[in-house]
A and B are shown apart, each in its own frame.
Chain A
Amino acid sequence: MSRYGTNCAQSTREILGLIATVALLPAVLPSVSLATECVIFVIATLGCNLLLGRVGLLSFGQGIFFGAGSYATGLAIVRLGAGPVFSLSAALLLGSMVAALIGSLAARRRGVYFIMLTLAFTQMCYFLAFGMSGVTGGDNGLLGVSRPPLSFLGTTLLPLDSDLSFYALCSIICVAVYALLARVTGSPFGAVLVAIRENESRTFAVGYNPLAYKILAFVLSGMVTAVAGGLYAMFLRFVPLSNIDISMSERILIMTMLGGVGSLFGGVIGAVTVVVLSHLLSDLWSRWILLLGLVLIVVAVCLPGGLWSALQWIATALRRGVIGMSPRRAHLPLEK
C-alpha cells in the first residue's frame, strides 16, 4: 500500500465496505433516523479526515463549515423554496467560500497558532450567527426547513418525506463523497498533502507552495462538511444554533480521532461509533458525555491509530491465523 493513502484496489474494497455498511445500518440500528445521523456525520468526518489525516491540520473550524452549510441549505429552502439539488449546492458553494477565506488566513500559521486561529474563527462565526437573528433565527434556530422532493423538470424522482428515502439520498451522497476523497488522497495532489504533513519546509524546497495546497485542502474539506451540514438541516427540519457552535467542531474532531486518521474508512467507524454510543449512553445516564470521554481516553492511550488500527490488527491476525493458535504462539509479532 502506498503511504500516500490508499491504492486503487484498497479504495474499491473500502467503498464496497461503505456501501455494505450504509445498506446494513437501517436494519441493525433501532431507527432509520439514527442511521441517517450516522451517515451525515460520516460525511462530515470525511471532510475532517482530509485535513487532519492527510495534511496534519487540527482544525476547530469544521463547525463553521457544517453550520454554514446548514444555514445555506435551510435559507435556500425556507426563503427561496428551492429543491434539494439547489439547496445542497448552495451549502457546497458557501462552505467552499468560507473555507477559502478561513484557510487562506489560518493556514499561514502552524501548530498552536493555527489551532488558535481556527478556534477564534469558530467563536466569531457563532456570534455572527447568533447576532444575525433576522436571517439565522438566532438562538431559536432557523425554523420551517422542509424536505422538498428530488425532482427533474417537474417530475419527482425521489420524495424525501419518508425517513428511508431521505436516508437513501444521504447514503448516495456519502458514497460519492468517499469515492471522490479516495481519488483525491491517491492522486499527485494527495501525495503533496502528505508531504506537507511530513516535512513542510522540504515540500517548499522541492518546488511546491504548501500554502496553496493547504487552502485547497481547506476548500475541499469545507465543501464536504457543508454538504453534511445541509443534509443535517434537512434531517432535523430546522437549523439549531448549535450547528455552528464549537461543540460541533469538537464532535466532528472526536469522531475523526476515535475512528483513526490512517484511512478514510476510520472516519466511517468513528462517526458511526460516536453517534450510536451517544444514543445508547444517553438512554443510560444523563451525564453520558463523561462516558464518551472515557472511551476517547482509552482509545487515545491504547490505540493511537484509532479504532481503524484495531480493525487492521484483527484483520491481519485473522489472515495470518494467529487468532486460534495456541497462546504460546499468539504473542508472536504480526509484522515481520
Chain B
Amino acid sequence: MTTESSAAPRDVVLRVDGLSKRYGQFAAIKNVSFAVHKSTVHAFIGPNGAGKTTLFHCITGILRPTSGSITLNGSEITHLQANLRSRMGLGRSFQITSIFPALSVFENVRLAAQARSWLRAFDFLSDVSRLHKSSSKTEELLVKLNLQGSSGDIAGTLSHGQQRRLEVAMALAGDPSILLLDEPTAGMGVDDIEHMAQLIRSLAAEITVVLVEHNIPLILSVSDVVTVMNYGEVLTQGPPSMVTADEKVRERYLGAA
C-alpha cells in the first residue's frame, strides 16, 4: 500500500479493509483494501465489470458487503444506512444521472442542503422558502458549479453536462468531508469535461475526492493516487506516473484502451 505507508493514519479519511461482495459464486469485488488521504484526489480505473461501481455502492451504503470493513473519519460505517453515511460527511454522485427531474435546479440543491439538519428535515410547519441557510448555501453552490443562470429551470430540461454538474452540486450541498464521483464526465462534451476537471482540482483544496473514471487523460491530470481494478481485485495503486508505467496495467487496461 504505497499511499498508506507515506502518510500518518490520522490523515486517512476513508479506509477500506478486505472488502468483498459476492453474488452466489460470483465475486464482484474480492478482498479490496485501500486508504484515501485527506485533501487528495483518489481515482479508480479499470475495464468495465472490474467492480468499481460495486465498490462505490458498498462504500456509500447502497450495497452491503459480504465481508470486510469500511471506516470513515475513524468511525466504522460498514453496516450503516446510506442516508446516515451521507449525514456523516460522505457525498456521492451516480454513474447514471440521478436528480429530481420535475423540480427546479434550485430546489434540487436546496433539498440536499436542508438534509444536514435533522430538525429542519422533519419540520412540517415552516415555509420551505424561509430556509435561509440552505438557500444561501444553494446559491453559493450554483455559482461554483456555473449553474446560477439555470437556477429556476426544471432540472429534467437541462443538458446532460449541466445535469452532471447539478449532481455534484447536490453532493456538495451536504458539506461532505469526502466526495465520491462515479464517472462524473460520462457523456459530457469537451468543454464540460474541462470545467469538471477544474472543479475536481479546486475541490481537492477543501475536501477529499474519490472518483471512478474511464477518461484517462482526466485521471492523470487531476489525481494524486490511482487504484487500478481488474476482475474485482486491486491490480495496483500509486501515483499516476507509477501506475501508467506498470506493465500489468498497460497490458490489461491502458494498452487495450
Contacts and interface: CB of A to CB of B under 8 A. Distances in A.
Interface in A1-45: 2-4, 7-8
B102 A198 contact: yes
Interface residues of B, number: 38
A2 B101 contact: no
A204 B94 CA distance: 13
B111 interface: yes
Most chain B CB within 10 A, of A192, A207, A208, A209, is at A207
Interface in B55-105: 60, 62, 81-83, 86-87, 92, 94, 98-104
Most chain B CB within 10 A, of A7, A198, A201, A209, is at A198
Contact of A198 (B103, B114, B123): B103
28 contacts: A3-B107, A7-B127, A183-B124, A183-B125, A184-B124, A186-B128, A188-B120, A188-B121, A188-B128, A191-B107, A191-B110, A191-B128, A192-B111, A199-B98, A199-B100, A202-B94, A202-B98, A202-B170, A203-B111, A204-B81, A204-B82, A205-B60, A205-B62, A205-B94, A206-B86, A207-B87, A208-B83, A208-B121
B83 A209 contact: yes
A3 B120 contact: no
Contact of A202 (B99, B110, B124, B174): B99
A209 B104 CA distance: 22
Contact of B107 (A2, A7, A183, A199): A2
B124 A195 contact: no
A238 to B, nearest CB: 35
A4 B100 contact: no
A122 B62 CA distance: 32
B204 interface: no
Interface string A181-219: 001101111111011001101111111110000001000
A218 to B, nearest CB: 14
